[in-house]
Amino acid sequence: MNFGTEFQPLTTQPQEIETKSFSIITEELGPHPFTDEQFPVVQRVIHASADFELGRSLVFHPEAVQAGVRAIRQGRSIVADVQMVQVGISKPRIAKFGGDVHVYISDPDVAREAKALNTTRAIISVRKACEAHPGAIFAIGNAPTALLELIRLVKEGVARPSLIVGVPVGFVSAAESKEELLKLDVPFITNRGRKGGSPVAVAIVNALSLLANQALGG
């Protein structure tokens, strides 16, 4: 069938496409402040978003990458704020170490409690997750209220996550929640500003799980 175009892709091989994409990202990003261990995460975020400004806005706690890789290799659970994040995370790479991925925002008990307390399901789901999964990796890409609640629980000593991936997108409290995250003394990966989203949270966690597997030669 002729679609009336002469354009042909450079390659149709998935690995070649990814390799070429990363080469373009490295070239176009140019000089940057990221360390060698942080840069693969930045590459994955830009690859997922095609947004160099977003990539440059990433901020890493000094121990973030090591903490994330260690937590995955220890089989720690990953808690997502929404189903989109849960679906996007590569389960086989997590399961290889005995870990799993959870999301509670649609649980009936969460909905009931949120309604009773006149608050968001995101807040209640974080409370439930902190109780069920101490030391988990939290991946928040959608709900600033979830991130703010997690920060509150950390400050109060109720929660101590292995890593917080806090990249909610939006116009209400998104940028502000990330600025609050920067003040914590627990490992985090975040970005400044309104940008972010579920694909960004997924890209970060998947980058860490790839690094965890590479550390084992897998």
> Which residues are catalytically annotated?
47
Count how many residues are written for the chain: 218
For residue 132, how many other CB atoms are within 10 A of its CB? 12
Of 122, 139, 24, 30, the C-alpha closest to 79 is 139
Partners of residue 138 on adjacent β-strands: 79, 164
> Could you give the CA distance from residue 171 to residue 72 in angstroms, rounded to a whole number?
32
User: Where on the phi/psi map is residue 191: left (φ > 0), alpha (ψ -120 to 50), or beta?
Assistant: beta
> Could you give the CA distance from residue 189 to residue 66 in angstroms, rounded to a whole number?
11
User: How far separated are the first and last CA of the chain, in Å rounded?
Assistant: 42
